[in-house]
Each structure stands twice: as structure tokens, then as C-alpha cells.
Structure 1
Amino acid sequence: MTEYVNQLSGGTPLIGAPPAGAEAAVWSLDTTLAEVGGFRLDDALPVLDAAERERAGRLVRPGDRQRYLASHLGLRVLLGGYLGLAPQEVALTREDCPCCGAPHGRPAVAGGGLHFSLSHSGDLAYFAFAAVTVGIDVEAVPGAAAVADVMTSLHPAETAELAALPGEERRVALARVWSRKEAYLKGTGAGLAFGLADPYIGAGPAPAQVPGWLLRDLAAPPGYGAALALAVRH
């Protein structure tokens, strides 16, 4: 199933109630916009916290800084809307890393209440919000060199599926499988610590399902693949 994606624009968004149960709210953003969710990027720094401002200050290239400010401003606008807070009042923290236990794991809202995930690629950002653990990823369709570099890092069955496709289809399929796998790994909090081989998620038209998770492809513009991973409570 392909999930519907809301679009966050320059104006103030109509956000609605936070998602409940096994549902997720998904948004996309064109990070080249000069205004996001009713806030101008020129005025974004006071909305961010100290860690976000420090990170933005270390980005030398204007395009990187623009994308960072737009995506984090958008995240705060949406979190604030769901939580009933002003964007600058949203307190962000980090969960403990599932690999080493240190506090540099999955980003979270201090005090809980809503799970979220953020991803950006090129000039596009995706956001997911849920009552359960969630991961999201968007990937631009890679070039042939990137395909060759990444293919052998995947599950052997995924590598075989990609190898069976002609060049252009292979590039599109890699964006698809990469976004599915990254969404799942962001959801678990492990990231790339254990590599990309496991679990098998598949490069075909629909993702293979992983126990304890619901994987969905997301609608995306031409030239991108996007996916969502949602924890299943039993």
C-alpha cells in the first residue's frame, strides 16, 4: 500500500489531531522554500534550540544550511501543532542507543507522547508522526556509480533482485529498497551500526514485511523513493 503524504508549504498548516493507534501522519517539504509553516527561514534561528543552532552554524555551504533550517523548522512547526505548543517550546532529546546504551539514539520529544522521524534527500524532506515508534526515509534515485557501490552491501536476495534489472530500472529500484531499509533502521534506532544486509526487505514493487513492523512505500515525486516503517504493538 502507498501511503498518502501531506505537503507542508510556506503558510500555516492545518495539522489536525495527532495520529493514534497504528496510524502515521506523513508530511513532505520542499526545502528550497523561503518560508515554512508561517515562519521565514531568515527568522528561523530563535525557533530552534541551542544544539540545532550550533549544527546550523557549522554548515558552510548555503544549500546545506538552507535544507537544514527548512527541515528542522518544519519539524518543529508540525510537532508543535500536534502537541499544542509553539514550535520553539518543543523540547527535543535523544533516546538511548540500542547498540551501546549511550544517549545518542533515536531523536525524541522530551516527555514522550508522540514519536517522529525526519529524513531529507536533495531538496526534499519527509516527516512521520505516530503514537508508536516510527521511521521514515526519502532517497533520490542514485547514479550508476552509487548503485555499484551499494548493491553488494544489501541482503544477497536484494542484490540478486537488483542485478536482474536493466540499468535505469535498477537505479529506481535501489532508491526504493534503500528507503525501505533506512526507514526500518531509523525506526529500530540502530541506524547503520550493523550494516544494510539484514533484514531482507526487498527491491520489488511491494516491501517484504519484517516481524514487529509494518513497512509501507510512500508517494514521492519523480526521481525519489520514500518509505515508512511503523512498529506494531501486540
Structure 2
Amino acid sequence: MSAAREVLGPDWSRYRTAREPLVRSRLLGSRLLLRHVVAVVAGTEPGRVVVGRDGDGRPFLHRPAGLDVGISHTAGMLVVGVARGRRIGVDVEASDRSLLAPGFAEKFCHPQELAELSGLRPAERNLRLVRLWTLKEAYTKALGVGLAHDFTHLRPRFEQGGGGWQLDPTAGGWYLRCEQVGRFLVAGALGPEGG
């Protein structure tokens, strides 16, 4: 147990109080993955990686310095993002997760997104909603505000030829990407250098 406690750091109490073995396994596995990915990027040993949480619950590195991390997991998938000298946020969702509940899209979609969604068939609309959700959540996780942000003010738009997504120009310098990985959509938001 002491090895698990060391790996989990500030998440130890969450691990101990989780009732479902699958939740505990996912929490421990995600923190092990995070430490190993950071170690590879930093050229160090996983045991030298020290992860904490800021006041908003966002993971950050005590050691090594100069890197930012993001983490997300859902049933069957763990995702870790690491960036040097800039903020990063990641999110993962099953691409077939149903988001077509009445009124749900109105709570997180920009008015122009709602207009674009209205003409799509249900399966296409749902996939677009999941993609928008993962992009917006990756961005707000990078900011450290998560679901506290009003998603209706965010409008990621696909850049033709660039392969990524851009936000309103006032968001300045953010690069967003969303990829299909098996049955999952994985989104990442990378902030401007020095941010």
C-alpha cells in the first residue's frame, strides 16, 4: 500500500474512499501512466516525478519543473498530456456516448453551434456534440476551471487544411485537436508558449 500511496500522492484519499475496484484501478493506473509519460518526456525516472494538485484540483508537477500535465479517463481509456512551457488539457469520451437528452446541448453549445446541429441527423448530431464537449472540456481543464466555465461562450471551429480547431481569436494562441482513437474521441488543448 505504501507504493500506491506514493504514486497517488494527493489522490490517495480518493483512492481509499472509492468503493468500486474498477474506479480504484483506473485512478491508480492513470497516475502510474502520468508519472511514466512525464519521466519519458523529462528524461528522468518515474520515481523522481512528483505530482500535486492546485487549489482547483488540477494536476501539476512539483518535479520536474517546466512541464504541464493533463489527464483524463473514461471506461476503457486513459489519456495523459504533457507540454513544456505551456498549458495543456486533455479529455476523452466514448464517441457513442449519448448526449441527445432534451435541453443538454442548449446548456453547453454556442448559439451558432446549435443552429449548425439542428440540420444534422441524430447520429451525426450526437457525434458532433461529443466532439464539441471533449474539445471544450480539454480547453477548460487546461485553464484550470473545468465545468465551472460557461461552455456556451466557447465555439471551437475546424481549421480547413490545418487539422486542428481554433477558438475565438480573443483566446489567442490556443491549439485544439480532436482525434478518433478506436471507439473514443481524444481532445487536447495546448496553450500559447510561456502561458
TM range (shorter): 0.7 to 0.9
Q: After superposition, where does 1:194-205 map in structure 2 within 5 Å?
A: 194-202=149-157
> Structure 1 stretches of 5 or more lacking a match?
1-41, 96-102
Label 1:55 to 1:197 Cα distance change in 2 as closer, same or farther (>3 A).
same
Structure 1 counterpart of 2:59, which letter? P
TM-score after normalising by structure 1: 0.69
The answer as to 2:27 corresponding to 1:68 is yes
State whether residues 137 and 146 of structure 2, in contact with CA within 8 Å, keep that contact through their aligned partners in structure 1. yes
Instruction: Please list, as runs of the form range in 1=range in 2, the aligned pairs for 1:222-233 lying within 5 A after superposition.
Output: 222=183, 224-233=184-193
Displacement of 1:143 in angstroms is 4.5
The answer on 1:139 being equivalent to 2:93 is yes
2:13 alignment counterpart: 54
How far off its partner does 1:173 sit? Answer: 1.2
**What secondary structure sits across from 1:109 in the alignment?**
strand
2:73 corresponds in structure 1 to 120
Higher relative helix content: 2
* Percent identity for Structure 1 against Structure 2: 30
8 Å Cα contact 2:56-2:144 kept in structure 1: no
1:133 CA drift (Å): 0.9
What SS class does the counterpart of residue 127 from structure 1 fall into? strand
Q: Which residue of structure 2 lines up, in the alignment, with residue 220 of structure 1?
A: 181
Q: Does 1:92 align with 2:51?
A: yes
8 A Cα contact 2:9 2:51, kept in partner: no
CA contact (8 A) 1:212 1:231 kept: yes
Match of 1:116, SS?
Answer: strand
- The one-letter amino acid of 1:136's match is V
Aligned to 1:151: 105
**Relative to structure 1, is the Cα distance of residues 194 and 50 closer, same or farther in structure 2, using a 3 angstrom cutoff?**
closer
| Matched letter for residue 193 of structure 2 | R
Runs of at least 5 residues in structure 2 that lack an aligned partner in the other structure: none
The 1:204–1:155 alpha-carbon spacing in structure 2 relative to 1, beyond 3 Å, is: farther
Q: 2:146 matched to which residue of 1?
A: 191
Q: 1:169 to 1:44 in 2, by over 3 A?
A: farther
Go from structure 1 to structure 2 and tell me whether the alpha carbon gap of 1:178 and 1:204 turns closer, same or farther (over 3 Å shift).
farther
CA contact (8 A) 1:134 1:229 kept: yes
In structure 1, how many angstroms separate the alpha carbons of the residues matched to 2:47 and 2:19? 24
Which amino acid counterpart does residue 225 of structure 1 have in structure 2?
L
Give CA-to-partner distance per residue, 1:99-140, whole Å, 9 cap, x none.
xxxx23532111531111111122101111111111111111
Please point out which of 32, 55, 58 is paired with 1:106.
Answer: 58
Q: CA deviation at 1:213?
A: 0.5
1:9 equivalent in structure 2: none
Quote the Cα distance in structure 2 between the aligned partners of 1:204 and 1:123.
30
Q: 2:167 aligns with which of 209, 222, 227?
A: 209
Distance 1:214 1:81 in 2: 23
The amino acid that maps onto 2:106 is T
The question of whether the paired residues in 1 share the 8 Å contact of 2:70 and 2:81 is answered with yes
Provide the aligned C-alpha RMSD in A: 2.6
Cα shift at 1:44? 5.9
Q: How far has the Cα of 1:219 moved from its partner?
A: 4.1
Count residues in correspondence.
184
Q: Distance in 1 between matches of 2:6 and 2:120?
A: 46
